[in-house]
Chain A
Amino acid sequence: MRIRPLEDIDISPIVDIDEKIGGRYRPEVWERQIGYYLRRDPEGSVVAELGGRVVGFMLGEVRSGEFGLEEPTGWIEVLGVDPAHRGKAIGRIMAEALLAHFRELGAHRVRTLVDEGASELSAFFVSLGFEPASLRPFVKTL
């Protein structure tokens, strides 16, 4: 398995993985998202390749100054693994690469948000050493 930084040629495989997971074809969403992450820091996002095919992606970046968090903080914001390749520790390997990059950029903490109903995703982050934090999301419908 090869882990490498995100590139423009990953748009289509990421669109495909998203469709396999969620059942919706959303190229416009990923073109915008990947344009953003490439602009910010292409090494802050990674893809996993198996046999030359992209089978997983993890998008993130280091930011500071948000939500009162002045320290540089790594954020893992989106991830996906091709359902046909689950169970191969692809998510873990991508996370390790991303965490190493965040550390190089001076981040001492990495954060993410997981829906309460997404137990599988929660378990994944817990297995990586993530713990529930005191910072809670609040939402108001407009």
Chain B
Amino acid sequence: MSTRTTSLPKTYHDAVVKWREAFLPDYDFLLDNWEKHFPNDPRFELCAYRQLGMCTEIECGEWQGKPKYNQASQMVPEQAHHLLGAIRAQASTEFGSIQQHRLTLARAQDEEEQFWILRMMAEELRHGYQMLHLLAEDDWSSVSKDSSSDMIEEILSMTTGSHVLGAFNIDFDSFVDNVVFCALIDRVGKYQLTMQRQSAYQPMAESMPQMLREEAFHLAAGVVPLRRWATSAARDEGFFTMDMLQRAINKWMPRGLEMFGDERGGGTNVRFGLKPMKNGEAQRLYREEVEKVVRDLNLRYLRARVPELSLAEAPLALDRILAGEAAPGAGGVRAEDLLRLPHAEFLRRRGVPAFRMVGAGGEAYADLHEYLRHLAGALPEAYRAGCDYKDYVDALAKVQGGELTTEEAASQMPALRRVGGACPCSKSVRWVVDAPSQAAGA
């Protein structure tokens, strides 16, 4: 297994470094403390990795078995257009998540958990860099009027609220969000990267293995603290409660499901050989995996609360509690003490169930105010005080009042699909003009 390491052209590289200085100010702190928290791990390097020796034949779709493409110009225009959209969306998510994580990173109560998130942020920066490398290394003029430098500037100009996908336009309210985001939203990333590992566009496929290796740790940076917090909640220690975790899960899970795109779609990507699964199939597998995570957290809670429960007894007791049955020997733990995966239609604003008034438990609501009372009991208070929630409620009210169709409401949700050109008044980092001869653009 060999890997090729490359850097972006200096202009773009410097722009990413400038972006890092603005949005990842703790980067130097991370490197200064690297040996303390990650002894003997190779030091972080801002570069693009391409895995060599991967499959060179298209692995799915209409042209399965044909040679993979090394350049966008070899692809059918619609195919290249879809690919370009995926690269820009992927890049946006990588940079976007750093902007979200930085808001609450300093609020971590545990130094190890904080450094895990900080390392994850640096690696997300590298993932964004990897996507910019795909934009910079190829000629996209056959499918975009924007030059590579325009597209890179546009991506580096995005801030929370103007990213491509909804999950990256929501502010974090506490360090609970940092951790739950890693466990739920990075898991969507794992599915997307795993699918893109089979991309018919060879540079995309070759970009995935190293990103996936790093992503595996990002999921652990979410799940391990969650397991520890569930344990301390069970022992009435620490400051995290199961209710806090439940509300954060309710906040993020609907956005995670929507990151797969409309449940009915994705067939074009499969046909073009860009992904091996349609949206609905990938979304279903993702949800099943999160169900496992939630069950594991509940078992961790239950066994910490009732240490006498054996390995064989604990799952049976959990099933009884969740089914609302008596569970002798389970220490009086009730279903409401445990975590539940919200219903797939809960709080959705994209896809098939968009703007249906479905509760976290799957119950249907007919009255808007009753539904809002339910949401008040299911979502973090700080989230409900933000504009994302307000915009959702405003749109929902219009759908319920017949002023908007669900499709119109979905398209109105703030900037979820804004992928236009770079805004001329953006506060982007622009190109670093300390080497005028290499500067590209204003």
- A interface residues, Cβ below 8 angstroms from B: 5-9, 11-12, 16, 19-20, 25, 27-28, 31, 34-35, 38-43, 63, 101, 104-105
Contact = CB atoms under 8 A, between A and B. Distances in A.
B227 interface: yes
Specify the main secondary structure of chain A where it touches its partner: helix
A9 B217 contact: no
A41 B213 contact: yes
Interface in B381-437: none
B376 interface: no
Given A7-B219, A11-B296, A27-B300, A43 B213 contact: yes
A106 to B, nearest CB: 9
A63 B40 contact: yes
Contact of A8 (B223, B228, B303): B223
Contacts of A5: 216
A25 B221 CA distance: 22
B311 interface: yes
A19 B311 contact: yes
B184 to A, nearest CB: 12
B200 interface: no
B40 A35 contact: no
Contacts of B219: 7-8, 38
A42 B216 contact: yes
Contact of B216 (A6, A20, A104, A105): A6
A11 B224 CA distance: 9
A40 B300 contact: no
Q: Which 7 A/B pairs are nearest by Cβ-Cβ distance? A: A104-B1, A42-B216, A12-B296, A8-B219, A8-B223, A8-B220, A38-B220
B374 interface: no
B311 A39 contact: no
A40 B227 CA distance: 21
Contacts of B322: none
A7 B224 contact: no
B38 interface: yes
B15 to A, nearest CB: 29
Most buried by B among A8, A16, A34: A8
Given A25-B303, A42-B213, A105-B1, A35 B296 contact: no
